[in-house]
Structure 1
Amino acid sequence: MESFDGDYWYRSPGDQGGAVCGLFVIAHPEQLIQITFNKFDIDCESGGLLAMVDGWETQGQFFPSDEDHQLPFEMRYQTYCGGEAPTVFISSQNVALIQYRIPTVEEGFHISVRMIDNPEPCNVVTMIDHGVMSISNHGHRRNCSVSIMYPENIKLLNVDVGKTHHIPTQVWKNGLTRHCKKRMRDDYVELLTGPGLDSSLMKSIQDFCGLSSRPGAAMVPLACGHAVVRLVSSGNYYNSVTFGFEGLTDDVYVQYATKQCMD
């Protein structure tokens, strides 16, 4: 895994039994990743292949999920070999992945990685286990998720979902509504947890909509591997959520993990 600007080389030591390797790249939440291929030498005939993934993939699960990515799958997962070499790739969020299988000795690639500013971050992976983050649709019709790679306690600090048609000049305290997804609302924030990356396969623990700068002091434990805060937006509102998160204590983890991780 890499998280810094710089140049990276890979030269194959030879056939590794068909093994597929991966270079996971992560930037700050408010950044995108630009990858420039300076050299590309991967032969198709020997079974060599390189895939550029707009997001992350592990065990067949992708972040962002198909529901939350603005591009169709065939555009965010592209393969190359031989004369079909990638040139410049820019991710849609703060994570990207290069997967490669290079069985021929000394073949490989040379890339330059640069982190660039993203003025409207949407989907984000974070490797820290505590802090405060905000997520917004910036008035667009799109779904945005923050994926935290650990079990977490989530505390909503400020919620404006399905209420504001324009950027507010003051905060109104109208309160929150639960179970907005079940009520067929088009805009809501949901808290999910699961063992993989794909939020569409996770268990939804709670969901909310409404407007409040004081949603309450209660923490929501998300104990099954990954914790996700997902904002679903119709594009009719300027939705935003600010939340705090911190790791679970051992006793809270034991209390919630069994029931949240059960199918």
Structure 2
Amino acid sequence: MVVGLEEGTYYHKSRGGGEVCGVYLLSQPDQLVQVSFDYLNVDCEAKGLFVDGWELGGELFPSEVDSPLDGRVHEFCGRLKKKVYRSSGNAAVIQYRIPVRGDGFRITVNTPRIQPVTCNILVDEVQGVYTLRNHGRRSNCSITAIFPASITLVQLGVGISGSPVPNRAIETGVLSRCEKRGGHDYVQIGGAQGLDNTKMEVEDSVCGLDSNPRMPTSHILCGMTTVRLVSSGMSDNTVTLAIQQITSLDFTPTLMCELPL
């Protein structure tokens, strides 16, 4: 397994062996991952896969519920001189099994910037401030940190008709348990041991309009920490949050995921 966080050229030449390997690619939240196969010589009995998103332990980010698998997975084999794939978010993976000694490939990775910022964001930075927004569409967006993390709400405008810009005169504040109240638009805060956010344990689901939330920080002690924005398309939703990696236990976790048996 190799994780690539920088633009450049990657090359692999098989020494022979049947193990499955992967190149995991990650860019900034406002960038896509573009992979150009400059050279490919892989036996078609082995094949390789380009996946839009990350796959790890049989789990996908983003999940198939939030981003259907159709069009996200591409097989490659044989002899190619040039082929370009582009992710829809800031993460992609190339998985391959090349048992024939001497077979291999060379790729060039670029990370073009896009506007607006991608809907689904995978982060490995130990701290940062991020915004999720559905731009009025019926879609689910999420941000997942690949470590236990503390989550602080910075701004919230979810489930409110009209402008997504907070107006102090009509602010509702942060409403809790919106999903259980039957709300169609809400933000889930939680975590899981794997990448699939449909398996996440949810600490709370919030909605409302608040330009300066004073909610207590959530401390999510799970392998992965996720904030998921669920949108019906009836509201232009936006949520800004601060994420910081948990490196000590000087506080009480607000959510702890059960370890797999």
TM-score, length-normalised on structure 1?
0.90
Offset, 1:84: 7.9
| Distance (Å, rounded) in 2 between the aligned partners of 1:201 and 1:215 | 27
Q: 2:5 aligns with which of 3, 6, 11?
A: 3
Partner-residue secondary structure (3-state), 1:73: coil
**Residue 128 (structure 2) pairs with residue 126 (structure 1):** no
Match of 1:221 in 2: 219
Higher helix share: 1
**Residue 236 (structure 2) pairs with residue 234 (structure 1):** no
Give, as a single letter, the amino acid of the residue that structure 2 aligns with 1:96: A
| Distance (Å, rounded) in 1 between the aligned partners of 2:164 and 2:8 | 38
Match of 1:250 in 2: 249
Give, as a single letter, the amino acid of the residue that structure 1 aligns with 2:63: S
Distance 1:108 1:225, change over 3 A: same
Match of 1:177 in 2: 175
| Identity score, percent | 35
Give, as a single letter, the amino acid of the residue that structure 2 aligns with 1:158: Q
Residue pairs, 1:103-118, within 5 angstroms: 103-118=99-114
Offset, 1:196: 0.3
Q: Deviations over 1:206-244 (max 9, x none)?
A: 110110112214111111111101101111211011111
Match of 2:15 in 1: 13
| Distance (Å, rounded) in 2 between the aligned partners of 1:75 and 1:166 | 33
Give, as a single letter, the amino acid of the residue that structure 1 aligns with 2:105: F
Distance 1:178 1:169, change over 3 A: closer
Q: 1:96 aligns with which of 92, 97, 105?
A: 92
Offset, 1:188: 0.4
Q: Deviations over 1:142-193 (max 9, x none)?
A: 1110101111111111100010433538454221221111122111001021
Q: 1:80 aligns with which of 49, 72, 76?
A: 76
Give, as a single letter, the amino acid of the residue that structure 1 aligns with 2:59: Q
Q: In the alignment, is the contact (CA less than 8 A) between 1:122 and 1:137 conserved in 2?
A: yes
Partner-residue secondary structure (3-state), 1:183: coil
Offset, 1:204: 0.9
Offset, 1:74: 3.7
Deviates more, 1:23-32 or 1:74-83: 74-83
Partner-residue secondary structure (3-state), 1:200: helix
Match of 1:24 in 2: 24
Match of 1:194 in 2: 192
Give, as a single letter, the amino acid of the residue that structure 2 aligns with 1:5: E
Q: Deviations over 1:20-78 (max 9, x none)?
A: 0000000001100111111111112xx32110000001100000011221xx3142122
TM-score, length-normalised on structure 2?
0.91
Q: In the alignment, is the contact (CA less than 8 A) between 2:218 and 2:254 conserved in 1?
A: no
Distance 1:167 1:220, change over 3 A: closer
| Distance (Å, rounded) in 1 between the aligned partners of 2:166 and 2:244 | 30
Give, as a single letter, the amino acid of the residue that structure 2 aligns with 1:153: S
Match of 1:34 in 2: 34
Offset, 1:4: 1.4
Distance 1:86 1:73, change over 3 A: farther
Q: What is the total number of aligned residue pairs between the two structures?
A: 255
Match of 2:142 in 1: 145
Partner-residue secondary structure (3-state), 2:179: coil
| Distance (Å, rounded) in 2 between the aligned partners of 1:260 and 1:36 | 38
Q: In the alignment, is the contact (CA less than 8 A) between 2:38 and 2:81 conserved in 1?
A: no
Q: In the alignment, is the contact (CA less than 8 A) between 1:148 and 1:226 conserved in 2?
A: yes
Offset, 1:252: 3.3
